[in-house]
Amino acid sequence: MSDCAPPSPCGKQYALRPLQSEALPALAAALRAAGLPADDLAEPGRSFFTWHDASGSLRGHGGWERHGSAVLLRSLLVPADARGQGHGRRMVEALLAAARAEGAEDAWLLTTDAAPFFARLGFVATPRELAPPPIAATRQFAGLCPADATLMRRASPRPGTLPVAVIGAGPIGLAAAAQLLSHGIEPLVLEAGSEIGSAVRAWGHVRMFSPWGFNTDTAARTLLTAEGWTAPDPDVFPTGAELVERYLAPLATSSALRDRIRTGARVIGVARQDFGRLRDGDGRDAAPFLLHVETAGSVEAIAARAVIDCSGTWHAPNPAGSHGMPAPGEPAAADRIAYGIPDVLGAARAAHAGRTTLVVGAGHSAMNAVLDLVELARAEPGTRILWAFRRPLGAVNFGGGARDALAQRGVLGARAQALVENGAVMALAPFLIDGITEAEGALAITGRQDGRAATVRADRMIVATGFRPDLSFLREVRVALDPAVEATPALAPLIDPNLHSCGTVRPHGEAELRHPEAGFYIAGMKSYGRAPTFLLATGHEQVRSIAAFLAGDVEAARRVELVLPETGVCSTDRGNGVLRDRGFIGADEISPNMGGSRQAQSGCRVGTAAVTGSTCG
Ligand SMILES: Cc1cc2nc3c(=O)[nH]c(=O)nc-3n(C[C@H](O)[C@H](O)[C@H](O)COP(=O)(O)OP(=O)(O)OC[C@H]3O[C@@H](n4cnc5c(N)ncnc54)[C@H](O)[C@@H]3O)c2cc1C
């Protein structure tokens, strides 16, 4: 057999020649000398080849085992004097071309030390548990190769198969891409920002309350480890900037992902091709998705077989107005209002130093902002902090303190509560904002405090009242959302803050995230709609399950592979009324195992099976 395998230049006749059985002992000796397994060369189903350069000189050996439609590449060897000349790459391509010519599809291999080389050739490191049974049953997999050998797959190009579009290159979008690749599914990640992780970069100065051990995805770790990445200390708490620098950026530039991500690509519409939201028809579910993507001023249409919207909520903060709408005057005062967590000790220091800032909100973002302002006040005389809560102080949830299994999260709430109690910040609670005007170089914030009209003066506002999903570009897909939470109806009762304050959510995946539009999913922060509870680990489990389902592995999609830490505040018990009102349970049903508590319905069990999210709005 002769081969001019791409990308070697045709004309130069590199050649792949079948190895005769009498040459097997010599191959076995060469493999053993290189530390590669050679005990099973003569067993059935194996094919071995020699690789020759244009002059006919021997430049390598390689082979495969055929297992149904898959091949396991093996016994790849380039002699020391032939290395560094591209023979390994050419030989692998030639082997794959020859295997494909014989009908093989996906190629697999196991390697102990050459994963970066194979990653450059398009092989994707894959969690070992995702090996298809015939590959897992091979002698190489089951015993000849060490248990820590990296399993890699190169999916054969399937003509006409569209990629799965992933909207957003945040932590969950990138994890979705890694999960899809580990199933041999081609992802295309579309990121609106000029860089990946653009939302996390915006809160890069904030230290996370979950340590590294909770913050990375399994498939992403497998990809990265294959390329020489060293996982950060699992017990250390990174900042947002460190999450990008140590994890998201290396992941996005890995051989596996870098050509599958487009930055500066904002999705402005999603639909079924030729089927708007209204139109039924036999072909609807089979029609590909079409995404309208804005890139540098022009709009491009991109087709996809499925869509996972991981676009987060960071760019759609809730307003200060207490009715959910921006308060009259709020948009006009935008230059004095920051949403989320501005870096008051860094880039936003001058805006707050020596001035009065009104912080609005009760979640972790507000707590972080207040703590930073208090630190600023120590260094900058005249810095004053007002903190407005919508609830009476006694009803504010400052977290589980020492009972929180995420210690940093507990500490954050406890420190914030202490600042209120010792008067370091002035709490306005309850304070409901009705209007904002700019007068004499400051803001006059009008509203109701304890039911009485009140006006508060401040130089600046930090509005940390949570986020909401941007549904504008989903107008043409059939999404089903809970009317209050704006999460899927199956997920909403698990996370609705009206039902429980504990942030507990039982593990969930593809089934709970399904929409009437088959093949369309919202995952990550955005999947929680307006609920202020989301942990990266929850999102990783979501996209693991979705990717498994899209790969046809329904059993893996259903399997729950998530353990999350308790918040320590699972204490609310507001009865079953809201569940009934919202149609989550029937008129006569009460939650059986919590003595009527809604927490049971919402998965809010403190115990072995309960898992929790956290408040960060
Ligand atoms: C300050 C803060 C601290 C947090 N701390 C923790 C913590 O300690 N532990 C924890 O587990 N969780 C934490 N979270 C919650 C959550 O894990 C993060 O918000 C996380 O970033 C969510 O990841 P995501 O990928 O879903 O969304 P994002 O990180 O928001 O990423 C979404 C991406 O989509 C892009 N995008 C948006 N719209 C479009 C569009 N139309 N087209 C294309 N791209 C688009 C955005 O630019 C962005 O890059 C924190 C959240 C905040 C805000």
Range with the largest mean pLDDT of 78-92, 152-166, 307-321, 415-429: 307-321
Question: How many angstroms is it from 427 CA to the middle of ligand 1?
Answer: 29
Q: What is the mean pLDDT of residues 444-473?
A: 96
478 Cα–ligand 1 center, Å: 24
**pLDDT for 411:** 83
The residue whose C-alpha atom lies closest to atom 53 belonging to ligand 1 is 616
The residue to mutate among 191, 471, 528, 538, having the most atoms of ligand 1 within 8 angstroms of its beta carbon, is 191
Q: How far is CA 395 from the centre of its chain?
A: 33
What is the residue type of 156?
Answer: S
Question: 246-298: per-residue pLDDT in tens?
Answer: 999 999 999 999 999 999 999 999 999 999 999 998 889 999 999 999 998 89
Whole-number pLDDT of residue 567: 61
For residue 159, report the distance from its CA to the centre of ligand 1, in Å. Answer: 34
The pick from 243, 310, 314 for probing ligand 1's pocket by mutation, whose C-beta has the most ligand atoms within 8 angstroms, reads 314
pLDDT at 578 over 70: no
Ligand 1 and 361: CB distance under 6 A? no
Distance 615 CA to ligand 1 centre (A): 14
φ, ψ dihedrals at 428, nearest 5°: -110, 110
Pocket of ligand 1 contains residue 466 by CB under 6 Å: no
- C-alpha 123/C-alpha 96 separation (Å) is 12
Q: Report the side by side order of strands in the sheet with 289-295.
A: 265-272, 289-295, 298-304
Share of the chain above pLDDT 90, in %: 68
Contact 162, 304 (CB under 8 A): yes
Q: Whose CA is nearest to atom 19 of ligand 1?
A: 525
Query: Is the beta carbon of 464 within 6 A of some atom in ligand 1?
Result: no
- For residue 528 and ligand 1, the question of a CB distance below 6 A is answered with no
Give the contacts of 598 (CB within 8 A, at least 6 positions apart): 499, 500, 572, 573, 574, 575, 576, 578, 579, 591, 604
Taking residues 304-321, report their average pLDDT.
97
For a substitution probing ligand 1, which of 266, 367, 525, 612 has the most ligand atoms within 8 Å of its CB?
A: 525
Ligand 1: does its nearest atom lie under 6 Å from the Cβ of 315?
yes
- Of 262-266, 498-502, 589-593, the range with the lowest mean pLDDT is 589-593
pLDDT above 50 (res 99): yes
Decide whether any atom of ligand 1 lies within 6 Å of the 192 Cβ: yes
pLDDT at position 172 is 98
Separation of CA 189 from chain center: 12
**How close is the Cα of 526 to the center of ligand 1, in Å?**
8
Residue 177 beta carbon below 6 angstroms from any ligand 1 atom: no
535 CA closest ligand 1 atom index? 11
Which residue would you say has higher pLDDT here, 121 or 607? 121
Q: How far is the CA of 173 from the centre of ligand 1 (A)?
A: 9
Confidence (pLDDT) at 608: 23
Atom of ligand 1 nearest to the CA of 617: 53
Does the predicted TM-score (pTM) go above 0.75? yes
Q: Is 239 a residue whose pLDDT tops 80?
A: yes
Q: Is the pLDDT of residue 613 over 80?
A: no
8 A C-beta contact, residue 371 and residue 412: yes
Q: Which residues of 453-474 are buried (b: 16+ CB within 10 A; e: fewer)?
A: ebebebbbbbbbbbbbbebebb
Q: Whose CA is nearest to atom 37 of ligand 1?
A: 311
Check residue 224 and report its DSSP letter. Answer: H
Could you tell me the pLDDT band of residue 39, with boundaries at 50, 70 and 90? confident
Is the predicted pLDDT of residue 572 greater than 60, yes or no? no
Poorest-pLDDT segment among 361-375, 438-452, 498-512, 545-559: 498-512
pLDDT band at 496 (very low <50, low <70, confident <90, very high): confident
Closest CA to 546 of 494, 491, 509: 509
Contacting residues for 224 by C-beta, under 8 A, at least 6 apart: 231, 247, 250, 251, 254
Q: Does residue 460 have a pLDDT over 60? A: yes
Which of these, 445, 463, 467, lies nearest to 455 by C-alpha position? 445
> Is residue 188 within 6 Å of ligand 1 at its C-beta?
no
**Cβ contacts of 484 within 8 Å, gap of 6 or more:** 492, 496, 498, 530, 582
Question: Separation of 525 CA from ligand 1 center, angstroms?
Answer: 6
Nearest-CA residue for atom 10 of ligand 1: 535
CA of 199 to the centre of ligand 1 (A): 6
Give the residue whose CA is nearest to atom 31 of ligand 1: 170
Select the more confidently predicted residue: 367 or 145.
Answer: 367
**Residue 210 Cβ contacting ligand 1 at under 6 Å:** yes
Render 512-532 in DSSP notation, one character per residue. HHB-SSTTEEE-GGGGGTT-S
C-alpha 174 – ligand 1 centre gap (Å): 11
Question: For residues 324 and 318, is the Cβ–Cβ distance under 8 A?
Answer: yes
Ligand 1: does its nearest atom lie under 6 Å from the Cβ of 339? no
Q: Distance from the CA of 238 to the center of ligand 1, in angstroms?
A: 15
Q: For residue 192, how far is its CA from the centre of ligand 1 (angstroms)?
A: 13
Tell me the per-residue pLDDT of 397-422, one tens digit each, with 9 for 90 and over.
787 666 777 777 778 888 989 998 88
pLDDT attached to residue 165: 98
Whether residue 467 has its Cβ less than 6 Å from ligand 1 = no
For the CA of 524, the nearest atom of ligand 1: 26
Rounded mean pLDDT, 555-578: 62
Nearest CA to ligand 1 atom 13: 535
Handedness of CA 81, 86, 92, 97 (dihedral sign): negative
pLDDT reported for residue 563: 67
What domains are defined for the chain?
15-154 (3.40.630.30), 164-315+468-555 (3.50.50.60), 318-466+570-617 (3.50.50.60)
